[in-house]
């Protein structure tokens, strides 16, 4: 890998080629982080949040919040 990096650094290239290499590197890093986040989410065994905001369909946690209000 070190040899590959040395070859890349010694290679003559114009601005377009440099930007292409930078864009490919950025896309690779972004893709790797996305895969890592996805795998960490999947490894949580799909456990849902039981308390706090987002624990029910409308973000509330109690039954009282889900009942319609009685109008007087």
Would residue 50 count as lying in a domain? Answer: no
Closest Cα to residue 61, out of 72, 51, 48, 47? Answer: 51
Do 51 and 61 form a contact (C-beta atoms < 8 A)?
yes
- Tell whether the model's pLDDT for residue 23 goes beyond 60: yes
Cα torsion 15, 18, 20, 25: sign: negative
Tell me what the mean pLDDT of segment 13-36 comes to: 92
User: CA 23 to CA 29: how far, in whole Å?
Assistant: 10
Instruction: Kindly report, residue by residue over 30-58, the tens digit of the pLDDT.
Output: 999 999 888 888 776 555 555 666 666 66
Range of the domain at 1: 1-42
Q: Where does 11-69 have alpha helices with state H? A: 15-42, 63-66
Would residue 13 count as lying in a domain? Answer: yes
Would residue 57 count as lying in a domain? Answer: no
Would residue 9 count as lying in a domain? Answer: yes
Domain count, the chain: 1
């Amino acid at each position: 890998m070190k040899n590959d990096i040395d070859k890349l650094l010694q290679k003559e290239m114009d601005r377009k080629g440099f930007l292409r290499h930078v864009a490919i590197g950025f896309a690779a890093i972004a893709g790797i982080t996305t895969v890592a986040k996805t795998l960490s989410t999947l490894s949580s065994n799909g456990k849902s949040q039981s308390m706090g905001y987002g624990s029910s369909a409308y973000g509330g946690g109690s039954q009282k919040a889900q009942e319609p209000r009685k109008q007087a």
